[in-house]
Structure formats: structure tokens, C-alpha cells
Structure 1
Amino acid sequence: MLKVVEVLAESEKSWEDAANQAIANASRSVHGIKSIYIKDFEAKVEDNRITKYRINAKITFQLD
């Protein structure tokens, strides 16, 4: 059986790094992560530059 949780994550580097951070943080509480679905991308802008890359994602994992 699989379960899905929705998470928010951000990075100062990239959206890919934000996704990796989402997986790393989720893996502290759940095991058997199977996939990540990036639902939304967002960026915070200051002084005409992107300062934060944000994602809203769904992480699927295997129940024990």
C-alpha cells in the first residue's frame, strides 16, 4: 500500500535542490519513498533577482 503526503520546500540554489531537500526532510519521518510529483513552482524575488526557489510537492511512499 502506498501513501501520499504534500510538502513545501525551498532552496536558495534551485528548484531541483528544493526537491532534494523535500525528499531529505520527508525521509526523516517516512521510509520507502517511491516518487515525488512537483505540483507548483514559485520563486521569491528581491532586487530583481530570485532569492528563493520554492516547490509544492507530493511525495509517495510505501507503508510498512
Structure 2
Amino acid sequence: MSASVGRITTVSARSDVSFEDAVNAGVARAAATLRHVSGAWVKEQKVEVTDGKITAYQVVLEVTFVLED
């Protein structure tokens, strides 16, 4: 029987467009640096507000990647 071991790292990403765009940017950046990214959990979401309007979307992600043998 084979097993795999993963590790979780925290990534924060920001977008002026949407939460979805922030998540995509965070996962893409993590995948550019880490090998074998297998998933991500959105741990936190928040918005920046200026003059009563949302100006940015921020997410904190827990990114999982599988460790190599």
C-alpha cells in the first residue's frame, strides 16, 4: 500500500476585481513556486472599502501540496 504526505502553507492574495480573482491569483502563484499543489481552502475573506465602496478583495488560503519522496 502506498501513502502520500502533504504539507499546508498559508497564502494571502488580493484583487481589485473579485474574491474569485483573488483565489485564482493565490493558487496560481502557489503553483508557480510549489510542486504538486493538490488543493486550497479559503480560510478568510475580507474587503477593503473606500468612500463606502468596495475597492479590493482579499483572501487567505490554506494551500495543500504533496511532498516528494
Scaled by the length of structure 1, what TM-score is found? 0.93
Task: Write the distance in 2 (CA, Å) between the matches of 1:33 and 1:27.
Answer: 6
Where structure 1 has 5 or more consecutive residues not aligned to the other structure, the ranges are none
Partner of 2:29: 25
Task: Write the distance in 2 (CA, Å) between the matches of 1:62 and 1:37.
Answer: 15
Scaled by the length of structure 2, what TM-score is found? 0.87
Q: Percent identity?
A: 30
Runs of 4+ in 1 over 2 A off after TM superposition: none
User: Whose Rg is larger?
Assistant: 2
Aligned Cα root-mean-square deviation (Å) = 0.8
Where structure 2 has 5 or more consecutive residues not aligned to the other structure, the ranges are none
- Which structure has the highest strand share of the two? 1
Count of residues in correspondence between the two structures = 64
